[in-house]
Amino acid sequence: MEIDNNVKSDEVQKLVIELMKGEKGNLMRKKTIELKKKAEEACVFPSGSSMANLEKIVHLMQTSSK
């Protein structure tokens, strides 16, 4: 879904309807929800990748200063 500089209102209307009610819009919403869940898992849960990497950094800082 892309709009160039020479756009007409009916083209915008079609794209908005497709985004809100069409299959492409549904797929985009599903993918967005999946990405949100993955981001939350990575950041919030102790077993998430962000938490694991943060723990590695803290451990490296603690051991390198001794």
This prediction has a pTM of 0.54
Rg (CA), the chain: 21
Sign of CA dihedral 19, 21, 24, 28: positive
pLDDT at 38: 87
pLDDT digits (tens, 9 = 90+) for 19-29: 899 999 999 99
Calpha distance 12→41 (Å, rounded): 36
Q: Tokens at residue 13, please? A: 């209307």
Q: How many CA atoms lie within 13 A of 9 on its CB side?
A: 0
Tell me the pLDDT tens digit for each residue of 2-41.
Answer: 667 788 889 889 989 998 999 999 999 999 999 998 888 8
